[in-house]
Amino acid sequence: MNRSLVECIPNFSEGRRFDVVEAIVKAMQQAAPIHVLDSSSDPDHNRTVVTFVGTPDAVEAAAYAGIRTAAEQIDMTQHSGEHPRLGAADVVPFVPIRDVSMDDCVAIARRLGQRVGDGLGIPVYLYEAAATHPERENLAKLRSATFQYEQLKDVISTDPARMPDFGPAVVGTAGATVIGARPPLVAFNVYLDTGDVSVAAQIARAVRHSSGGLRFVKAAGFLVEGQAQVSMNLTNYQKTPVHRVVEMIRREAARYGAMVTHSELIGLAPQEFFIEAARWHLQLDGFEPDQVLEYRIQQAEEEPVPLAEEEPPVPNEATRHLTALEALSPSPARFVNAVADGTPTPGGGAVAALAGALSAALAEMVARLTIGKKRYADVEETMSAIISAGGDLRQRLLRAIDEDIQAFDAVLEAYRLPKDDPDRQETIQAALVQAADVPLNVARLALDAMQLAEQVARQGNQNAASDAATAALMGLAAVEGAALNVRVNAVGLEDADLAARYQNDVTALVEHARAVRDTTVAAAEERAGIGA
């Protein structure tokens, strides 16, 4: 049975200190069982937008924890950024998603507002559907480029129109918080090929509804990294679709001799938002949503599948052991349980290979989090190459899990041969060589993954620097674990020269890996602002 779901999209006035953003998100996750779907930070706006979903009770509890932590971590007297703001936890809207009404979200907003005002001493304003005053339904009436934290601080105790719905009529270092309930909206920015912010401001004025533009569009002009930006909230993308907005911006920009260079989605958007844009641009007049493959699959999965009255028994000879890769799916717990089972395999070599695969996967993740971000445009080609290389390493290391198991099983089988078998010693030696070759390859691949981690730690998304460091640490565990397995198998080799080569190879790999670990962690700590 599906649970009731509410979406919450809090906007926090911090987009430069990743440790603060991480603390806020962690506090929300620890407060209640929610699913954080997205976290998007912008250093120019100095703002982070987090999107999470959960049951009504869970979302309410998590939102309170986020507001409390933001109030503790963010000092608005020291804050600056392009985006208008009133407080540390600036805006906290609730959106009905499944089996929840707008009235339910209004009730959440009002309960939370009272708790924040009474418990945290923060002035709270209710907006949109939760507003208690008609003039506060529109967020722009509460906060604008000309009325922000500094102006509110001066008048909150003297202007009746600025009296909060909850909490004291005094603004502290956490500022004020605006809490509400609304339908889904899409935060969408369009960039122009000019550094003249007045052009963006003129276009925003033409586009937004409040000054005679398109219905359900809120817009403002900003300068972001030297480029003019038309920043928008599309409050009803169904009635005013995004393609209409973009085309109007193109026409308005042409009046000033400017062009659109690219656009940007902040946070998440429903599938329908993208489908409607594709339908218009591709002129798919007869298109129906169920022509999307994933939609059709979802419909098929929701339909009951008829079962035979009696399933035939599974013959004994059809049973088989799961490979290690199969044991990892759908849950890693199956593989972990297999390691703990008390059988020789999967053992340390397989675990080392898995650690190496995780190292490559984390490097890939950081690279993917870097691509598409305007501040990292100059390294996008490098990040694309890292994604490709990391994917190849990850697959090869995952295959090495089973290769290690098979190699060790072959060693055991060789030692079980009768001692009077004339081929026994030769079989043992061949098995030992294979059992050394597999972890040696794992160590080399894991070191390659670590070097990708070092690169993303230096050049990748700063907000994921700790993930890059973790990739290096996992890679080092893989190299050292695999190297130990090489040494163990090399001890039994009769070919002393070959055994020495194995020893020398893994010694060099471990030394190199430790050096990469040190430089990667140092780079990550420096970029995350947590270095000594």
Residues 199 and 170 in one domain: no
For the segment 224-240, what is each residue's pLDDT rounded down to a tens digit?
Answer: 889 999 999 998 888 89
Max CA pair span of the chain = 101
Residues 175 and 190 in one domain: no
Q: Whose CA is closest to 191, among 227, 241, 220?
A: 227
**307 backbone dihedrals φ, ψ, rounded to 5°:** -105, 150
Residues 149 and 261 in one domain: no
Instruction: Give the count of beta carbons closer than 10 Å to the beta carbon of residue 341.
Output: 10
Instruction: Give the count of beta carbons closer than 10 Å to the beta carbon of residue 292.
Output: 14
Which helix (H) or strand (E) element contains residue 482? helix 465-490
Asked whether residue 203 is assigned to any structural domain, the reply reads yes
Provide the pLDDT confidence category of residue 474 given band limits of 50, 70 and 90. very high
**Cβ density class 258-281: b for 16+ within 10 Å, e for less:** bebeebbbbbbbeeebebbbebbe
Counting beta carbons within 10 angstroms of the beta carbon of residue 492, is it exposed (0 to 12), middle (13 to 18) or buried (19 or more)?
Answer: middle
For the segment 280-332, what is each residue's pLDDT rounded down to a tens digit?
Answer: 888 887 777 778 787 777 767 666 555 444 444 444 443 344 455 555 554 56
Catalytic, 281? Answer no
39-43, 64-68, 248-252: lowest mean pLDDT where?
A: 39-43
Using an 8 Å Cβ cutoff, are 447 and 475 in contact? Answer: yes
Using an 8 Å Cβ cutoff, are 21 and 14 in contact? Answer: yes
Structure tokens at 458: 């230096």
Q: What is the mean pLDDT of residues 78-98?
A: 94
For the segment 396-427, what is each residue's pLDDT rounded down to a tens digit?
Answer: 999 999 899 898 888 888 889 998 899 899 99
Instruction: Name, of 65-69, 262-266, 269-273, the range with top average pLDDT.
Output: 65-69
Instruction: Give the count of beta carbons closer than 10 Å to the beta carbon of residue 504.
Output: 10
Residues 364 and 468 in one domain: yes
Coil, helix or strand at residue 50 = strand
Could you list the beta-strand ranges (E) of 1-158: 5-8, 11-12, 35-42, 47-54, 89-98, 124-128
Structure tokens at 448: 């390659």
For the segment 499-520, what is each residue's pLDDT rounded down to a tens digit?
Answer: 899 999 999 999 999 999 999 9
Q: What is the mean pLDDT of residues 18-44?
A: 92
Average predicted confidence (pLDDT) for the chain: 89
Per-residue pLDDT, 302: 62
Among residues 217, 248, 281, which one ends one of the domains?
281
Torsion on CA atoms 439, 441, 444, 446, rounded to nearest 10: -60
Per residue, the 3-state secondary structure of 165-186, as one string, reads: CECCCCCCCCECEEEEECCCCE
Asked whether residue 304 is assigned to any structural domain, the reply reads no
Asked whether residue 163 is assigned to any structural domain, the reply reads yes
Asked whether residue 317 is assigned to any structural domain, the reply reads no
Cα separation, 503 vs 379, in Å, equals 38
For residue 116, the domain's CATH number is: 3.30.990.10
Residues 416 and 493 in one domain: yes
- 302 or 185, which is more confident: 185
Residues 81 and 145 in one domain: yes
118-127, 159-168, 280-289: lowest mean pLDDT where?
A: 280-289
Asked whether residue 405 is assigned to any structural domain, the reply reads yes
Q: What is the mean pLDDT of residues 141-169?
A: 94
Q: How far apart are the first and last CA of the chain?
A: 50
Residues 479 and 499 in one domain: yes
pLDDT over threshold 70, residue 255: yes
For residue 228, the domain's CATH number is: 3.30.70.670
How do strand 11-12 and strand 47-54 relate by DSSP bridges? antiparallel
Ramachandran class of 51: left when φ > 0, alpha when ψ lies in -120 to 50, beta otherwise: beta
Asked whether residue 298 is assigned to any structural domain, the reply reads no
Asked whether residue 316 is assigned to any structural domain, the reply reads no
The DSSP result for 407-421, as a single string, is: HHHHHHHHHTS-TT-
Among residues 256, 281, 306, which one ends one of the domains?
281
Among residues 181, 198, 229, which one ends one of the domains?
181
Given the residues 35, 45, 79, 83, select the one marked as catalytic. 83
Residues 141 and 66 in one domain: yes
- 113 or 342, which is more confident: 113
Per-residue pLDDT, 307: 46
Residues 147 and 199 in one domain: no
Domain extent, residue 475, equals 323-528
Residues 162 and 240 in one domain: no
- 95 or 346, which is more confident: 95
pTM: 0.51
Residues 172 and 199 in one domain: no
**252 backbone dihedrals φ, ψ, rounded to 5°:** -65, -40
Q: Whose CA is closest to 174, among 47, 77, 62?
A: 77
**Cβ density class 2-17: b for 16+ within 10 Å, e for less:** eebbbbbbbbbbbbbb
Percent of the chain predicted with pLDDT > 90: 64
Domain count across the chain: 3
The amino acid at residue 439 is P
Contacts of 403 (CB under 8 A, 6+ apart): 353, 438
Residues 99 and 147 in one domain: yes
For the segment 415-458, what is each residue's pLDDT rounded down to a tens digit?
Answer: 899 988 998 999 999 999 999 999 999 999 999 999 999 999 99
The radius of gyration computed from the CA coordinates of the chain, to the nearest angstrom, equals 29
For residue 409, the domain's CATH number is: 1.20.120.680
Asked whether residue 39 is assigned to any structural domain, the reply reads yes
Per-residue pLDDT, 340: 81
